[in-house]
A and B are shown apart, each in its own frame.
Chain A
Amino acid sequence: MSLLLKIAFRNILRNRRRSAMTGSAIAVGALAMLVFGAFTTYLFASFQTNLVQRIGHLTVFQKGFFLFGSGNPTAYGIDRYQDVMDLIAGDPVLKPLINVVTPTQSVVGIAGNFEGENDAAKTFIGVGVVPADRDRMRQWNEFGAGRVWPADTRFDAVDPSVGLIGGGIARILGLCAPLKIANCPSPPASATRALVAANAPADPEIGDLVRRDVAVDNPGAVGTMPRLDLLSATANGAPNVVSLRVAGLDPQGIKELDDNYVAMQLGLAQQLVYGRGEHKATGIVIQLKRSEDLRPARARLTALLQQHKLDLEVHDFAELTPFYTQVLGLFGSIFLFIAVIMGVIVLFAVVNTMTMNVMERTNEIGTVRAMGVRRRGIRRQFVVEGAMLGMIGATLGLVLAVIVAAVVNHAGLTWNPPASVNFIPLRLELFGRPALIIGTWLGLVLVATIAALIPANRAAKLPVVDALRHV
């Protein structure tokens, strides 16, 4: 065996330039796959962190909410949600796995800025949350790949009407100036007002009737916080309105969401949606300590709910954000594509190199065959050479990848991932997934070995006499 390796290694060294070329091609292939793979690993970790910070790992809904609830959240409140939360938080299997359990309420309605001269209204899609739980959830950072948020002091526990809105909806409602938003143009004059004859006299009677009552009953803006009216129909179909004091922006990465987003405290959302009825919650969000526990936690949770005959369903963050699974799939496909291309390049390079080697050593092949080496011994010799070339190239590629990763990680680069508004550090997680390194290394060595098989077979099949005749 060691003779095999000895000859293989020395032949690689003998054709220094040719081996260097082929080895470099393999190394570059390995480098490309490893760097892209490391980037992808990091991307998933940071994307997942972002999601888990915002929507936790698992959410419990009323049955049917996931498929039908977004148009009509009021119909899908969870009865006695506090009891369900206690049940989940107290379960001996789930308790050690859970980081946060918190209720949320989805709201849809119309947000209006009717203060003073303003006359802007916009449909909104909002959520009511518990600010303290939201802060805790935003601390989650299992992979060290996300941004860690300090407690959001804008949500004031003392004033339950304080909330945040998206950048787009703030702009549409004409809150650029009050919220001091940069790069924010004011909305054009109201179209409906334009329809009114500009010169027609205002009916003083109406103005008088308005002034009698409204100033007394309507709360105005307090301090510097602008106020919005949130209108919605309750679960019983009654019109309802609450005041939201806007403390600032919570910009969303996707424009459609950013143009509609309102975040308020849970109590306010419940007041708006349920009014005089029983206050429920549309979702119970569960954030685990570690993502690895997702599957067992989900299984236990589903069993627990079934056990208590509760009409509830469980979804994880990937189901709630199809974009996540799609991005994972996309990057997986791209990686596969790169791997295949690199594999093909390595294949051609090694076939070419080994074919030349065989051709040059035809006489040598004849000689050792005459001396008693079997056909399979010849084949083995060249296959080992190909494999060895692959191993050297792949290892070199790995070393290069480690260097590149170290350089990038210490360069302090940042980037803005898609569907996000924040810049996060750009890192290459090379050692996050051992399967990546092992898979790439083994894969390329395998390709090189298979590539060498073709010329090796040809060498083995050479008739001894003809081989010896070769110069």
Chain B
Amino acid sequence: MRITRIAALLALVFVATSAEAQTAQEIIAASDQVRNPSQPFRSTDTLTEYIGGKPRDQDVLAVYSKIDPATQQYRNLIRYVAPPRDQGKMVLLDGKSLWFYDPNSKASVRISPQQRLIGQASIADVLTVNFAIDYTGKLLGDETIQDPQHQNRQCWHLDMKAANEQTSYNRVEYWVEHGTNYPIKAKFYSDSGRLLKILYYDGFEQRLGRVRPSKAIIVDAVDTSLATIVTFGDVTPQEIPEAWFQRDYLPRLQAQ
């Protein structure tokens, strides 16, 4: 009798804990689904930079995204639409490599990680990531936090650790809403344990088959006067040829 009760208790604990571990990773995967369409797509994004709270630059980008079946991570081809001075410039983001192409010189140059520390390139890592692949999550508990509209959201509070040495951020704190699995907030930490960036998702609306965030607010936690707001507009599915994600192909894409 006693043995079966103990066994049942143990089984319960086992199920509970394994269910918990599954749940954390599942939650993360679900929130990835909210953010990232599974099919290749094209969107027109508007990037606004703020200094000391005041808007400075605004860029409009045509972004073509497709998942790399090998890594399950997104590859992005970005073409500048506005402002006129940057029109035609392109950025190719493929895993860890970032290439910048200038139509005037017809030269593509690789931007090293050192060069991506500040400026627009520094937000590439936080926007186009599939957390479930690169991070191992642990559920810390429940927390109610305010979204950018000052609405309270009941969230799972998750602690994600980098799953391998190549992952950009050593640790990410993540808040995913109960039930909807909407990603609400993420805090990105460096190897040294310092907070680098804070990311808020906002503007949830229907697009490409389900409700997705249409806006991301990224705050620089080191230089606190810097912030960027990215608005995802005009999201449409599109077949994107593999060739588009080759660096050598960039000059030919200009014709488009």
Contact = CB atoms under 8 A, between A and B. Distances in A.
Do chains A and B directly touch (beta carbons under 8 Å) in the complex? yes
Interface of A: 108-110, 112, 114, 119, 121, 192-193, 195-197, 200-207, 209-210, 212-214, 217-218, 229, 231-234, 236-243, 271-272, 274-277
A202 B224 contact: no
A121 B223 contact: yes
Given A193-B51, A236-B165, A276-B191, A206 B227 contact: yes
Given A202-B52, A203-B54, A275-B170, A114 B223 contact: yes
Contacts of A110: 117-118
B196 A241 contact: yes
Interface residues of B, number: 43
A243 B194 contact: yes
A237 B198 contact: no
A275 B117 CA distance: 15
A201 B54 contact: yes
Contacts, number: 133
B112 A233 contact: yes
Given A206-B50, A206-B217, A231-B117, A114 B190 contact: no
A238 B113 contact: yes
Given A110-B118, A276-B170, A213 B198 contact: yes
Contact of B117 (A109, A203, A214, A218): A109
B167 interface: yes
Given A193-B51, A196-B54, A276-B162, 17 more contacts: A110-B118, A119-B225, A193-B52, A203-B54, A209-B200, A218-B194, A218-B222, A229-B222, A234-B113, A237-B168, A239-B122, A241-B192, A243-B194, A271-B191, A271-B192, A275-B170, A276-B165
B223 A192 contact: no
Q: Which 4 A-B pairs have the closest CB atoms?
A: A275-B191, A202-B53, A233-B113, A237-B113
Interface string B163-201: 001111110000000000000000100111011101010
Contacts of B187: 213
Given A206-B50, A209-B200, A200 B167 contact: no
Interface string B133-151: 0000000000000101000
B52 A239 contact: no
15 contacts: A109-B117, A119-B225, A192-B51, A200-B54, A200-B55, A206-B50, A210-B224, A213-B195, A213-B221, A214-B195, A236-B166, A237-B113, A238-B113, A238-B170, A274-B191
B148 A195 contact: no
Contacts of A242: 192, 194
Given A239-B122, A275-B190, A202 B167 contact: no
Contacts of A274: 191
Interface string B50-73: 111111100000000000000000
A272 B166 CA distance: 16
Contacts of A233: 112-114, 116-117
Contacts of B224: 114, 210, 214, 218
B132 interface: no
Contacts of A210: 219, 224, 227
A121 B190 contact: no
Nearest to A272: B192
